[in-house]
Structure 1
Amino acid sequence: MTTSTVVKRAFTEQETAAYIGMSRSFLRQSRMEGQRKNRTMAPPFIKIGRAVRYLKEDLDQWLESHTKRDHLSQKEGTYV
């Protein structure tokens, strides 16, 4: 008997929240309201019928797109 491992490509909201380290309410709110001033942009999502799913490659790209900072007073590209 052969067992195969299925690599998951589409995550539920709960799985996505755990994967990116953000709350489900962040995902839900940003999905409903869209981009708001001074708010972190939510990762892209897809809808299959009524189901909302997040693709792993989109989540990885979203995580990589955020600037890595050494200190909170550090602004993008400049040092205070």
Structure 2
Amino acid sequence: MNIEEVKVLPSELLSPKQVRAEYGFSEQSLATWRWTGTGPDYIKTSAGRSGRIKYKRSSIEKWLDERTVSGGAAA
């Protein structure tokens, strides 16, 4: 019996533009959520206003999962 190797790839990093294209959240919404601390976790690659922002796909998916409502009384 062969045991297949499972390759774990590093989380894909997405720019705010890529997040907009794939998930539909505007770059302004992402910026507001960063400022208020209510959005998905993000990575800032350098200090200051000019620091590049990246999102791990897994962080976005986790954030969305935490906000998923099943319906009924919880909605």
- % identity of equivalent residues: 19
Question: How many angstroms does 1:14 deviate by?
Answer: 0.8
Q: TM-score by structure 2 length?
A: 0.65
Output one character per residue of 1:38-76: Cα deviation in whole Å (capped at 9) or x when no partner: xxx211101112110000110111111113244xxx542
Work out which of the residue numbers 40, 44, 59 in structure 2 matches 1:43: 40
Q: Is the 8 A contact 1:67 1:76 kept in 2?
A: no
Q: Which runs of 5+ in 1 are unaligned?
A: 1-6, 36-40
Q: Please state if 1:26 is matched with 2:29.
A: yes
| RMSD, aligned α-carbons | 2.5
Q: Could you list the runs of 4 or more consecutive aligned residues of structure 1 that deviate by over 3 angstroms after TM superposition? A: none
State the distance in 2 between where 1:62 and 1:23 align: 16
Q: Larger helix proportion, structure 1 or 2?
A: 2
State the distance in 2 between where 1:53 and 1:59 align: 11
Other structure's SS at 2:74 match? coil
State the distance in 1 between where 2:28 and 2:15 align: 13
